[in-house]
Amino acid sequence: MVSFLRQEHEQPFFAVLSVQPPHDPHFAPEEDMRRHTPGEVQLRANVPPIPRIEERARRHIAGYYAQIENLDRNVGRILDVLEETGLADNTHIVFFSDHGEMMGSHGQFRKMSPYEESVRIPVIFSGGRRTAYKPGLKGSYREKVCFNHVDFAPTSLGLCGLSVPDWMEGTDYSWIRIAGKERPQKEMTSAYLQSVIPTRHFDSVDKPFRGVVTEDGWKYVCLEHCEWMLFHVAEDPYELVNYAHEQLYLAKRRELYDLLKHWMEKTGDSFALPPRP
């Protein structure tokens, strides 16, 4: 591939690398595994102090970290090739995951849960310095936006200077990086959460749910016919205090219920919400 890129230097290309790890079973090459041991793992504050859960979480996380380190090194090899071939300044790089991993938080493992550890994923846009960087934009930069999976396509088109079709779902966030591109006046201030079928996972959530996460840090989730979660993640990042059934938060519950219903109507979702609180 390096040789090809050197020969066809001006030829545009699009490449996708889908890597399974980090994923269970949590094993990595020995050189990575020996740098991470269960006893050195620091657990999140929402992992319950139950020995069997803590032990499993430590073991999985140690392997998970080793897998991440291995992946990071190999992504670095790709970036090195882009630098060597002179393509780094004109290549947009998008790094992301399709889901998170509970790792013992709230006593759960794996995915398919609306808790932060499962739904919050890394999304990094990089490269493209020649065409995209705003003046003075150096190093890492974070913008507070509600970025969801449907936003990848329009944002990628925007970064490449292509128009976004009217029929395409999602928001173009390329203004974050493109010099001279203005932030749109109207964009999403919330993200929609869905688990559409029972997962049959034996150690995570096995029921369909719908939810919303707002830009100002609220999360509201419903099971069929039942309110389930209301967290103020901005002040409670470990989601330790659930307000879903408290009258003190009735106004906020109604506000987020209406927002969730709006998302469902917009997407044609027939999920059975509970009655409005």
**CA–CA dist 261, 271 (Å, integer):** 10
User: Tokens in use for 165?
Assistant: 């079709």
Comparing CA positions, the residue from 54, 74, 79, 67 lying closest to residue 24 is: 67
What is 2-142's CATH topology?
Alkaline Phosphatase, subunit A (3.40.720)
pLDDT of residue 159: 87
pLDDT of residue 199: 77
pTM given for the model: 0.87
User: Tokens in use for 152?
Assistant: 């990848």
Question: Which of the listed CATH numbers 3.30.1120.10, 1.50.10.20, 1.10.10.10, 3.40.50.360 matches domain 190-267?
Answer: 3.30.1120.10
User: Tokens in use for 75?
Assistant: 């992504």
Domain with CATH 3.40.720.10 in the chain: 2-142
pLDDT tens-place values along the chain, 277 residues long: 445 555 555 678 888 889 888 888 888 899 999 999 999 999 999 999 999 999 999 999 999 999 999 999 999 999 999 989 888 888 889 999 888 999 999 999 988 899 999 999 888 888 776 655 555 555 566 777 888 888 999 999 988 888 999 999 888 988 887 767 777 777 788 999 998 888 777 788 889 999 999 999 999 999 999 999 999 999 999 999 999 999 999 999 999 999 999 999 999 999 999 999 9
pLDDT of residue 200: 79
Using a 10 angstrom Cβ sphere, with 0-12 exposed, 13-18 middle and 19 or more buried, the burial of residue 259 is middle
pLDDT of residue 134: 55
Domain with CATH 3.30.1120.10 in the chain: 190-267
Report H helices in the chain.
Answer: 2-7, 30-33, 51-84, 116-119, 152-159, 250-267
Comparing CA positions, the residue from 244, 242, 272 lying closest to residue 256 is: 244
Mark 78-102 as b/e (b = at least 16 C-beta within 10 Å): eeeebeebebbebbbeeeeeeebbb
pLDDT of residue 141: 66
DSSP state of 111: S
What are the beta bridge partners of residue 209? 195, 223
pLDDT of residue 137: 54
User: Tokens in use for 187?
Assistant: 């964009």
Backbone angles phi, psi at 232, to 5 degrees: -100, 85
